[in-house]
Amino acid sequence: MYKIDSQKAEEFICHEEILDTLEYAQSKSQDKELIRSILEKARLCKGLSHREAAVLLECNDPELVEEIYRLAREIKQKFYGNRIVMFAPLYLSNYCVNSCTYCPYHVKNKTIARKKLTQEDIRREVIALQDMGHKRLALEAGEDPIHNPIEYILESIKTIYSIKHKNGAIRRVNVNIAATTIENYRRLHEAGIGTYILFQETYHKENYEKLHPRGPKSNYAYHTEAMDRAMQGGIDDVGIGVLFGLNTYRYDFVGLLMHAEHLEATYGVGPHTISVPRICSADDIDASTFENAISDEIFQKIVAVIRISVPYTGMIISTRESQRSREKVLALGVSQISGGSRTSVGGYATEELPEENSAQFDVSDHRSLDEIVAWLLKLGYIPSFCTACYREGRTGDRFMSLVKTGQIANCCAPNALMTLQEYLCDYASPETRRLAEDMIRKQMEEIPNPAIRKRALENLERIAEGKRDFRF
Ligand code: SF4
Ligand code: SF4
């Protein structure tokens, strides 16, 4: 039985409700009047239910699909402006006891080089990341209680925050590790993590069990209820996602939105971010064997409908996506991207490319962070290295209420420009620097509040003089 605020996975992600929703969406896919009324509701920026969103996803009328895209662009602009937050993944260890059939770290893969970073290795990786200009990381590690216990993750977080190389600093560490206990989530919270990220992979229980035949991750309920335990452990910024292509995209799309609704209904705060990875090839994994892999067109539609269904939730894509694909979805709703990523363990401190075979997936976008920053600037976006909110205690429902009232924009815009100024002073190539200076000059004039503009201008000067880490 469907129960939105139940603590049981099979009640808040109710299989029958998803099937009913898909049937309803199919039956209404030609109902232009209904679709227009859903779009009118979406225009209020208060979000849509999973049923309404599913109807939009089914719509194939070219005029209405164009309307969906137009609205997604408008909502993106309203909440996120032209800012794109930058981050990089940091792989700590690829030891894993699980058997996920789509991931080369699965326990039976004997061809992959297994690696785990020591604290000294982490220091080298973090210095390399700081020297690129990164301020925000997503930690990644396989599940292995012997090689990667929680104590190792906690020690690594401490090491990362402690490293101050030249003007560099990692100011926010998001963590993507296996589902764990409330107690361990509490310890992660106390270690000062930003967002706890865990992908559901697929919400379809039967397929989930086939895709995860052995290991702790094979427990569907334990995995699906992880965000509830994270919230109970005090983490109020959580990031959800599915790996599109493992199962039919329609099913997982509805499951994803039901998960977001469940968190909002139960804890008063929806997910901080939604990630939209797609299945791709890697060592021992051939993406073409996944019959549910989705086209670029479907992918763009998914991004657009998520954008208008959960306007307050940041959306993330990785370097799995090509430059072309990234460019399309940035306009439609994505607000965070990784840049200059290495998906192998220890990949930043070494110069080797293509990556040796300890990588989790093949990267499609191989450009350096500087190239990505320049590319974003040329497209009219402001690359932002901002990490201000969690450091100012703006997390969970406090963060969401600022987003919902639109007040957060008063912080995001100047913070984006100040952190871009830091980037151009410390790391940018001459060409990127020129583009960034132009962008900062133009965008400063757009800050509506004169007091904030004045303070931001003063801070820009202080950054040029060598001072760092200003924030609103
Ligand atoms: Fe391990 Fe995660 Fe890969 Fe599964 S997806 S094999 S849990 S690293
Ligand atoms: Fe994100 Fe907060 Fe910075 Fe805005 S001010 S970019 S919401 S961290």
Please state the atom number of ligand 2 nearest to the C-alpha of residue 394. Answer: 2
174 vs 290: which has the higher pLDDT:
174
Tell me what pLDDT residue 406 has: 82
- State the Cα–Cα distance between residues 420 and 428, nearest whole angstrom: 10
- Each residue of 374-384: pLDDT tens digit? 999 999 999 99
Q: Where are the domains of the chain?
A: 13-76, 80-366, 388-464
| pTM to 2 decimal places | 0.96
CB 12 within 8 A of CB 259: yes
CB 192 within 8 A of CB 237: no
CA of 6 to the centre of ligand 2 (A): 31
Per-residue pLDDT band at 13 (split at 50, 70, 90): very high
CA torsion angle for 456, 45, 400, 81 (degrees, to 10)? -20
- State the Cα–Cα distance between residues 176 and 238, nearest whole angstrom: 10
Is 263 touching ligand 1 by the criterion CB < 6 Å?
A: no
Q: State mean pLDDT over 346-363.
A: 74
364 vs 105: which has the higher pLDDT:
105
Tell me what pLDDT residue 236 has: 94
User: Residue 334: helix, strand or coil by DSSP?
Assistant: coil
Is 142 touching ligand 1 by the criterion CB < 6 Å?
A: yes
Residue nearest to ligand 2 atom 2, measured at CA: 389
Tell me what pLDDT residue 282 has: 76
- Each residue of 170-224: pLDDT tens digit? 999 999 999 999 999 999 999 999 999 999 999 999 999 999 999 999 999 999 9
User: Which residues form ligand 2's pocket by a CB distance below 6 Å?
Assistant: 85, 384, 386-389, 408, 411-412, 415
User: Does the pLDDT at position 264 exceed 70?
Assistant: yes
Tell me what pLDDT residue 358 has: 75
CA torsion angle for 138, 260, 321, 334 (degrees, to 10)? -90
CB 299 within 8 A of CB 244: yes
| Tokens read off for 265 | 């209904």
- Each residue of 17-38: pLDDT tens digit? 999 999 999 999 999 999 999 9
List beta partners, residue 84.
Answer: 383
How far lies 335's CA from each of 49, 86, 140, 222, 223, in Å?
A: 22, 9, 20, 29, 26
CA of 306 to the centre of ligand 2 (A): 20
CA of 181 to the centre of ligand 2 (A): 29
User: Does the pLDDT at position 351 exceed 70?
Assistant: no
- State the Cα–Cα distance between residues 45 and 399, nearest whole angstrom: 17
Is 143 touching ligand 1 by the criterion CB < 6 Å?
A: yes
Please state the atom number of ligand 1 nearest to the C-alpha of residue 107. Answer: 6
Fold of 80-366: TIM Barrel (3.20.20)
